[in-house]
Amino acid sequence: MKKRYYNATTHEWYNEGQAMTHKLNNGVFSGIPSAEQLYQWGFREWFDPAPTPAQLLERAKANKIAELEAYDDSNAVNGFIIRTPNGDFTEWLDPYKRNNASRAIESAKKLNIPTLTTAIGDIPVTLTTEDADLYLAQLEMYAVSCTGVTATHKAAINALETVEEVEAYDFERLYPEKLVFNVEEQS
């Protein structure tokens, strides 16, 4: 690891191995200085202070929340099961796709179209507009519930008082069971 130097008089930093320009009484130094030259010019090796217990706790919380957010974004949370005669498939509709599905369902209702044929992932399915509307509402409430669980976990992590408590915290609990939708695939 490269050394870092600091000059408390001039408030300059120097990273070992970098070229620098330094004004001298009899001219200008330009190049990579030796440790002895740096010392003569008032630079001293910088040692980062050890983190305080509070800093360690905040770092542990930030790391745990980053893990929680990655879990929340993963298919461990973001998914529902489509059960067909040919097997089960896990899919997800992000907010953009849920919004598009909602608009399609509303359009079908206004036009008195009784069924919708759409693809969920790579699976073509036909649903009545009522079933499609119900499935979408259930999916939206599942997503809202998951968002609430994630917020609850963040608050709980932020309330912990020791690094050990943070590291032991299990954020994979409390999420609702994935939804299961029974559908018929279209040929």
Contact 88, 103 (CB under 8 A): no
Q: Is 99 helix (H, G, I), strand (E, B) or coil?
A: helix
- The pLDDT tens digits of the residues spanning 98-133 come to 999 999 999 999 999 999 888 777 778 888 999 999
- The pLDDT tens digits of the residues spanning 143-181 come to 999 999 999 999 999 999 999 999 999 999 999 999 999
Residue 185: the pLDDT is 65
- The pLDDT tens digits of the residues spanning 53-103 come to 999 999 999 999 999 999 999 999 999 998 888 888 899 999 999 999 999
Output the 3-class SS for 108-148.
HHHCCCCEEEEEECCEEEEEEHHHHHHHHHHHHHHHHHHHH
CA distance 148 to 151: 5
Q: Structure pTM?
A: 0.73
